[in-house]
């Protein structure tokens, strides 16, 4: 069986699957073609104010605090932006990227995006209260806030992204990374997407996925470090256990603010404290005495084996400050790639 879209973009959450739908804003509807679709270009492309962006940020912070759902918000944003292909020169949004397209069918139904409807539903109250804020901005804001509130670095974000407004503008399936090879072929990735990511090695596959987006080896390793935050669930990625000693609901999880987290049990984590953002991913991966119930996937282990990745992995193992600096830079790049901003220079709120 093929395990799809784990790797760097596998982050999963403890969000409740029974969360009820919130009645949408009058301009927002659910359709057969799209989730959180808008009824008009005006609703999608209206100007957004700094006050509305700050208000949206407050609502997102409340959602994260209440639901302990930071990891799945990171995964949603990354899977929206991670479709970007820097070599496509056609008119926006042909190159993919952070444009809100993940809310539509067929993209939300891509194998890589299993479980992400949970994140879309969690963010509905934001769009309801602040309809002028684009979905692309909401998704990327949710990710950046999740990282910072979990104790990670502050990301130098800008807003004003324009949303795609039609399912036909979705990116093709196949642009996101695999964590393990296909059992039948022994290969990572495949011939789909905007260009093939197929490779027999984890390091080759990661480079094909992330070089296509414009990242270098440092950026790949830094983004991999976000696996310190979150879990893998078998029903979403095909990977991970039903639960482990660290995810059984009894093991004490401490948030970035020092409070005890109330989380739903299940899945496998890369680190013991999976709701805290730090450099423990890099201290755990090369440690032969690390608990065997912690995840160490092929695309994780290659960071300390490949000669191009290894210097950065060791640097981030030895210095959390160095990791945070590189991570913040890579996260910002990921959040802006493929985006169309109005105004063109974007909007800062801090």
Q: Which residues contact 113 (CB under 8 A, 6 or more apart)?
A: 5, 79, 102, 107
Predicted TM-score of the model (pTM): 0.88
The residues, ordered by sequence, that sit 6+ positions from 236 with a Cβ below 8 Å of its Cβ are 12, 114, 115
pLDDT tens digits, 168-225? 999 999 999 999 999 999 999 999 999 999 999 999 999 999 999 999 999 999 999 9
Q: Which two tokens stand for residue 211?
A: 């070089």
Partners of 153 in the β-ladder:
none
Averaged pLDDT of the chain: 90
Mean per-residue pLDDT, 63-71: 98
* Omega cis (within 30) before 343: yes
Q: Do the Cβ atoms of 276 and 68 come closer than 8 Å?
A: no
By annotation, the residues acting in catalysis are 79
Residues 168 and 99: their CA atoms lie apart, in Å, by: 13
Percent of the chain scored above 90 by pLDDT? 85
16-44 per-position pLDDT tens digit: 333 332 223 333 333 434 444 433 333 34
Q: Which two tokens stand for residue 272?
A: 């013991």
First-last CA distance in the chain: 46
Nearest to 100 by CA among 39, 161, 149: 161
Cα dist from 307 to 88, 275, 302, whole Å: 30, 30, 9
Query: Quick one: pLDDT at residue 350?
Result: 85
């Amino acid at each position: 069986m093929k395990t799809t879209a784990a790797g760097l973009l596998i982050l999963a959450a403890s969000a409740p699957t029974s969360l009820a739908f919130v009645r949408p804003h009058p301009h927002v509807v659910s359709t057969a073609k799209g989730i959180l679709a808008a009824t008009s270009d005006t609703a999608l492309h209206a100007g957004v104010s700094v006050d509305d962006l700050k208000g949206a940020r407050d609502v997102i912070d409340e959602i994260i605090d209440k639901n302990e759902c930071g990891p799945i918000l990171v995964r949603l944003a990354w899977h929206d932006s991670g479709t970007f292909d820097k070599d496509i020169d056609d008119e926006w949004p042909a190159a993919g990227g952070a444009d809100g397209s993940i809310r539509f069918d067929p993209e939300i139904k891509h194998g890589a995006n299993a479980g992400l409807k949970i994140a879309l539903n969690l963010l509905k109250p934001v769009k309801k209260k602040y309809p002028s804020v684009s979905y692309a901005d909401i998704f990327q804001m949710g990710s950046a806030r999740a990282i910072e509130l979990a104790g990670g670095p502050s990301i130098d974000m800008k807003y004003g992204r324009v949303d795609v407004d039609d399912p036909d503008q979705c990116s093709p399936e196949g642009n996101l990374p695999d964590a393990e090879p296909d059992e039948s072929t022994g290969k990572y990735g495949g011939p789909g997407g905007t260009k093939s990511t197929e490779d027999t090695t984890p390091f080759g596959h990661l480079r094909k996925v992330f070089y296509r987006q414009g990242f270098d080896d440092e950026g790949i390793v830094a983004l991999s470090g976000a696996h310190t935050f979150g879990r893998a669930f078998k029903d979403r990625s095909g990977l991970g256990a039903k639960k482990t000693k660290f995810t059984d609901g009894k093991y004490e999880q401490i948030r970035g603010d020092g409070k005890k987290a109330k989380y739903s049990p299940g899945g496998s984590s890369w680190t013991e404290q999976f709701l805290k953002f730090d450099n423990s991913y890099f201290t755990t991966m090369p440690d032969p005495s690390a608990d065997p119930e912690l995840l160490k996937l092929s695309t994780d282990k290659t960071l300390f084996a490949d000669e191009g990745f290894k210097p950065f992995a060791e640097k981030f193992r030895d210095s959390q400050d160095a990791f945070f600096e590189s991570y913040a830079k890579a996260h910002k790049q990921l959040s802006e790639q493929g985006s169309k901003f109005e105004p063109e220079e974007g909007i800062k709120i801090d």
